[in-house]
């Protein structure tokens, strides 16, 4: 192993492994340090996303939706399925196989591109050096022309509900339940809580979600959040806003939860309790005191718009820096940094980063919300189109939700798009591309969309911005 590399990446999650691969593609000698180990004690690539986050949760979401569809939604198609059952261990085995395939794929990509994977925990030292401590406590120091920190994030724990990952579990434990809880409590009704609650709710759990905030999905457009809340309630998710958990105790094989709300102190009993109150940057013990790195008040590593830290030749990307904790945001930051190290003038457009909640229907967004625009005094116009008026959605028996496009009232430039509905994650990407090119709502309105497709809902929403929608009655008619 060389004593020095052009680039040393700490962390092999979506931000880190992508940065490492791109750096190697650009001709830079690259090593990637990862502390995650598989059952055999070998380095496991992919980070939280591939191992216990994005990928396994989507595998369970897909499996659980297929079960719910067979149980509840096929009769309308004339298909009869009698008493469908769910084999939870088989579902988990499928999930694990997908994880193994993808993490193994990264190892293959590292080998193909010449990236050296180093097993251990990385720590940034002064003078562009990285200290690596392996599982046995052996320490080595590696020199680096440049360092990219991509250490990721960890679940947030709260004192009233100490995680034991048997009865009170975090998001990782929620992916390993071997049987369906009769009654499931979820602390937090954000992205993680909604996805995990949806999985087990579809499989038969009575799901109660305890959310401390008074507003549901406040980071989303209010109209879309309201529509999503209506749909989730219809699906059986019991979402209780303004509830603050004050205690959780395991008694007789169950979890007794106390919480306060507008109605006073209350007590609920659950078979299992998921703590899904968010994630925090994995920034502790990541660098020496004389490394030149600093943290902000929330524990994020301080960086500029190009992910440069205050230490020369040290960069930080992904969940350890400001901005949304999204795998694709971290990946693109990793590419930007690798290219800048190689002398290219790469940059990120932080105004065009989509976010998705993978419930069914999906919720997806990019850009500004209507409430943000109002608060900032930005003149805007909005176009909304419901999937109930989409021929393709109706043919699929999947017509809940809507598409909403926001554009500047003066220059018509698209400012945001918000969707709750079928394939929202893929549909919003069409608007992301349009926004990246500075498109107007009229540009989308003048684009030919295939028929019948779900994408036509995006087209109609763009038409509706100026009151020109064809397949719904416009609120205002304009020439």
pLDDT in tens, the chain (479 residues): 778 999 999 999 999 999 999 999 999 999 999 999 988 888 999 999 999 999 999 999 999 999 999 999 999 999 999 999 999 999 999 999 999 999 999 999 999 999 999 999 999 999 999 999 999 999 999 999 999 999 999 999 999 999 999 999 999 999 999 999 999 999 999 999 999 999 999 999 999 999 999 999 999 999 999 999 999 999 999 999 999 999 999 999 999 999 999 989 999 999 999 999 999 999 999 999 999 999 999 999 999 999 999 999 999 999 999 999 999 999 999 999 999 999 999 999 999 999 999 999 999 999 999 999 999 999 999 999 999 999 999 999 999 999 999 999 999 999 999 999 999 999 999 999 999 999 999 999 999 999 999 999 999 999 999 999 999 999 865 55
Whether 38 and 12 have beta carbons less than 8 Å apart is answered as no
CATH number of the 168-277 domain: 3.50.50.60
Contacts 24+ apart (CB under 8 A), 322-329: 322/296, 323/350, 323/353, 324/353, 324/355, 325/153, 325/279, 326/353, 326/355, 327/13, 327/14, 327/15, 327/49, 327/53, 327/54, 328/14, 328/353, 328/354, 329/353
List CB contacts of 37: < 8 A, sequence separation 6 or more.
43, 44, 119, 135
Read off the pTM.
Answer: 0.96
Lookup: tokens for 166:
């048997």
Residues carrying CATH 3.30.390.30, the chain: 352-464
**Residue 459 annotated among the catalytic residues of the structure:** no
CATH number of the 4-155+280-348 domain: 3.50.50.60
Annotated active-site residue in 73, 408, 451, 459: 451
Lookup: tokens for 312:
């020369």
Q: What region does 165 belong to: left with phi over 0, alpha with psi -120 to 50, or beta?
A: left
Lookup: tokens for 89:
């261990």
CATH number of the 352-464 domain: 3.30.390.30
Residues carrying CATH 3.50.50.60, the chain: 4-155+280-348, 168-277
């Amino acid at each position: 192993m060389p004593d020095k590399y052009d680039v040393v990446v700490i962390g092999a999650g979506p931000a880190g492994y992508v940065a490492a691969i791109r750096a190697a593609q650009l001709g830079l000698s690259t090593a990637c340090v990862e502390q995650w180990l598989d059952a055999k004690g070998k380095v496991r690539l992919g980070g939280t996303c591939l191992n216990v986050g994005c990928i396994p949760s989507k595998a369970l979401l897909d499996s659980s939706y297929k079960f719910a569809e067979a149980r509840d939604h096929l009769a309308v198609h004339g298909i009869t399925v009698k008493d469908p059952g769910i084999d939870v261990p088989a579902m988990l085995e499928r999930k694990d196989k997908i994880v193994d395939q993808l993490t193994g794929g990264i190892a293959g990509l590292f080998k193909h591109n010449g990236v050296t994977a180093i097993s251990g925990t990385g720590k940034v030292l002064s003078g562009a050096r990285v200290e690596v401590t392996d599982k046995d406590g052996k320490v080595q120091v590696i020199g680096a022309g440049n360092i990219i920190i991509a250490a990721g994030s960890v679940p947030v724990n709260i004192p009233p509900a100490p995680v034991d990952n048997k009865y009170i579990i975090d998001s990782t434990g929620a992916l390993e339940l071997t049987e369906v809880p009769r009654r499931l409590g979820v602390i937090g009704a954000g992205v993680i809580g909604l996805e995990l609650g949806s999985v087990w709710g579809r499989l038969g759990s009575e799901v109660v979600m305890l959310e401390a905030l008074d507003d549901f999905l406040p980071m989303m457009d209010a109209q879309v959040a309201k529509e999503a809340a209506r749909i989730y309630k219809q699906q059986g998710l019991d979402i209780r806003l303004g509830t603050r958990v004050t205690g959780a105790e395991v008694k007789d094989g169950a979890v007794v939860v106390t919480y306060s709300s507008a109605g006073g102190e209350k007590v609920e009993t659950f078979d299992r309790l998921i703590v899904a109150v968010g994630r925090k940057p994995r920034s502790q013990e990541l660098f020496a005191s004389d490394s030149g790195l600093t943290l902000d008040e929330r524990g994020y590593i301080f960086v500029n718009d190009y992910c440069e830290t205050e230490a020369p030749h040290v960069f930080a990307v992904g969940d350890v820096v400001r901005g949304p904790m999204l795998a694709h945001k971290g990946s693109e930051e990793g590419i930007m940094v690798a290219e800048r190290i190689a002398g290219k003038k790469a940059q990120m457009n932080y105004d065009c980063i989509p976010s998705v909640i993978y419930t069914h229907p999906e919720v997806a967004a990019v850009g500004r919300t209507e409430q943000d625009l109002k608060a900032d005094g930005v003149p805007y116009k909005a176009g909304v189109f419901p999937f109930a008026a989409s021929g393709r959605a109706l043919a699929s028996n999947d017509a809940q939700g809507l598409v909403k496009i926001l554009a500047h009232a003066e220059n018509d430039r698209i400012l945001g798009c918000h969707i709750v509905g079928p394939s929202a994650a893929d549909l919003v990407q069409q608007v992301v591309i349009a926004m990246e090119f500075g498109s107007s709502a009229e540009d989308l309105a003048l684009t030919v969309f295939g028929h019948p497709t779900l994408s036509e809902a995006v087209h109609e929403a763009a038409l509706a911005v100026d009151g020109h929608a064809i397949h719904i009655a416009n609120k205002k008619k304009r020439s």
